[in-house]
Chains A and B, each alone.
Chain A
Amino acid sequence: MTTTTLTAPTTPERTAPTRGPAAARARRKRILHWIAVHSVAIAVALLFVLPFVFVFLTSVMSDSQAMSGDLWPNSWHWSNYKEVFETPGFLDWWRNSLMYAGLGTLFTVCSAIPVAYALAKFRFRGRRTAMLLVISTMMLPPQVIVIPMYLVWAQQFHLSGTLWPLIIPMAFGDAYSIFLLRQFLLTIPKEYIESAKVDGCGEFRTMVKIVVPMAKPGIAAIALFQFFYCWNDYFGPQIYAAQNPGAWTLSYGLESFKSAHSVNWNMTMAATLLVMAPVIIIFFFAQKAFVEGVTLTGVKG
Chain B
Amino acid sequence: MALQLSNPARRRLRTLGFLSPWLVGFSVFFAYPLIATVYFSFMHYNQIKEPTFVGLRNWRYVFEQMPLFGPALWNTLWLVVIMVALRVVFGLSLGLLITKIKTGAGFFRTAFYLPYLAPPVAATVAFVFLLNPGTGPVNEILSSIGITGPNWFNDPDTAKPSLVLLSLWGIGDLMVIFMAALLDVPKEQYEAADLDGAGPFAKFRYVTWPAITPIVMFAVVTGVVQTMQYYTQALVAGKVASGVNIGPGSVIQPGYPDHSTLTVPQLVYQMGFQNFNTGAACVLSLVLFAIAMAVTMLLMRKRSGLLAAED
Q: Which residue of A lies closest to B131 (CB)?
A: A51
Q: Is A178 an interface residue (CB 8 A)?
A: yes
A132-B282 Cα distance, complex, nearest whole Å: 24
Q: In whole Å, how far is B111's beta carbon from the nearest beta carbon of chain A?
A: 4
Contact flag A268-B125 (CB < 8 Å), given A124-B15, A190-B1: yes
Indicate with 1 or 0, residue by residue over A153-166, a CB within 8 angstroms of chain B CB atoms: 00000000000000
Q: Is A16 an interface residue (CB 8 A)?
A: no
Are the C-beta atoms of B296 and A71 separated by less than 8 Å?
Answer: no
Are the C-beta atoms of A268 and B129 separated by less than 8 Å?
Answer: yes
Are the C-beta atoms of A48 and B21 separated by less than 8 Å?
Answer: no
A254-B118 Cα distance, complex, nearest whole Å: 13
Are the C-beta atoms of A149 and B29 separated by less than 8 Å?
Answer: yes
A10-B99 Cα distance, complex, nearest whole Å: 9
Indicate with 1 or 0, residue by residue over B11-42, a CB within 8 angstroms of chain A CB atoms: 11011011101101110111011101100100
B-side interface residues, number (CB < 8 Å):
122
Contact flag A141-B18 (CB < 8 Å), given A48-B169, A299-B177: no
Are the C-beta atoms of A147 and B236 separated by less than 8 Å?
Answer: no
Taking CB atoms, residues of chain A closer than 8 Å to B36 are 147-148, 151
Choose one: B111, B141, B236, B299; the contact of A48 (CB below 8 Å).
B111
Q: Is B74 an interface residue (CB 8 A)?
A: no
Q: Is A265 an interface residue (CB 8 A)?
A: yes
A134-B115 Cα distance, complex, nearest whole Å: 29
Taking CB atoms, residues of chain B closer than 8 Å to A258 are 125, 240
Q: Is A118 an interface residue (CB 8 A)?
A: yes
| Residue with the highest number of chain A CB atoms closer than 10 Å, among B34, B117, B136 | B117
Are the C-beta atoms of A48 and B181 separated by less than 8 Å?
Answer: no
Consensus secondary structure, chain B interface = helix
Contact flag A144-B34 (CB < 8 Å), given A114-B21, A300-B214: yes
Q: Is A21 an interface residue (CB 8 A)?
A: no
Are the C-beta atoms of B119 and A276 separated by less than 8 Å?
Answer: yes
| Residue with the highest number of chain A CB atoms closer than 10 Å, among B22, B231, B281, B288 | B22
| A-B Cβ contacts below 8 A, count | 322
Q: Is B209 an interface residue (CB 8 A)?
A: no
Q: Is B253 an interface residue (CB 8 A)?
A: no
Q: Is A100 an interface residue (CB 8 A)?
A: no
Q: Is B126 an interface residue (CB 8 A)?
A: yes
Taking CB atoms, residues of chain A closer than 8 Å to B222 are 139
Q: In whole Å, how far is A130's beta carbon from the nearest beta carbon of chain B?
A: 7
Q: Which residue of B lies closest to A68 (CB)?
A: B135
Choose one: A130, A140, A203, A276; the contact of B30 (CB below 8 Å).
A140
Q: Is B265 an interface residue (CB 8 A)?
A: yes
Are the C-beta atoms of A118 and B18 separated by less than 8 Å?
Answer: yes
Are the C-beta atoms of A255 and B236 separated by less than 8 Å?
Answer: yes
Taking CB atoms, residues of chain B closer than 8 Å to A140 are 30, 289, 292
Q: Is A85 an interface residue (CB 8 A)?
A: no
Are the C-beta atoms of B306 and A301 separated by less than 8 Å?
Answer: yes
Question: Which chain B residues in 188-238 approach chain A with CB under 8 Å?
Answer: 191, 214-215, 218-219, 222, 225, 228-229, 231-232, 235-236
Q: Which residue of A lies closest to B250 (CB)?
A: A259
Are the C-beta atoms of B114 and A52 separated by less than 8 Å?
Answer: yes
Taking CB atoms, residues of chain A closer than 8 Å to B272 are 146-147, 150
Known: A49-B114, A194-B3, A294-B176. 8 other contacts (CB 8 A): A9-B183, A45-B107, A121-B1, A203-B18, A235-B269, A239-B269, A255-B240, A301-B305
